[in-house]
Amino acid sequence: MPKIFSSTKRAYLAGFLDGDGSIYVRLKQNSGYRYGFQVAPYVVFFQSQKERRRFKKICFLLGMGYLRERNDGILEYVINRKEEIRNFLGQVKSHLILKRKQAELMLEILAKKEKIKTKADFNQLARLVDKFRELNYSKKRKRYKLTL
């Protein structure tokens, strides 16, 4: 059953995501998938390991995803299951300011991913994934286009 947050918690979590979070999706090469790529969506919160105790309270509040410790002193709380992402973003989207376009694009990608029937459909999905390059601050993102 999806977790439902109060209006106050939705606003708080949206502010946290706007300030110390990221919404993105990657196409990972993987020959085990139908078109040679895995669609990997993420919502991630970041915090210094110095704030581990407080950050764990927020992770507990979310009740989805998992906590990951990086080697550079940063904690990441990762939500990567599509249903959890859909539930979470659906609840906080209206409160987002900086990352609202990313949330809307992610929800569009998750909906389109379920309707892939042809290589052309997958190419349309890949073009949507490429739009994150324009919305986010990464210059390393690769553009994907499958040959038909």
- 88 falls within a domain: yes
- Domain of 30, CATH number, reads 3.10.28.10
Structural domain of 51? 7-135
Catalytic (active site) residue 21: no
State the distance between the two ends of the chain, measured CA to CA, in whole angstroms: 40
Q: What share of the chain is helix, strand, coil (3-state, %, to 5)?
A: 50, 20, 30
- 13 falls within a domain: yes
- 12 falls within a domain: yes
- 67 falls within a domain: yes
Structurally, the chain folds into a number of domains equal to 1
- 1 falls within a domain: no
Catalytic (active site) residue 20: yes
Please tell me the predicted confidence (pLDDT) of residue 90: 96
- 144 falls within a domain: no
Backbone phi and psi for residue 46, each to the nearest 5 degrees, phi listed first: -120, 145
Closest CA to 99 of 20, 17, 44: 17
- pLDDT tens for 57-95 read 888 888 899 999 999 999 999 999 999 999 999 999 999
Of 20, 36, 121, 130, catalytic:
20
- pLDDT tens for 10-62 read 999 999 999 999 999 999 999 989 899 999 999 999 999 999 998 998 888 88
pLDDT band (50, 70, 90) for residue 143? low
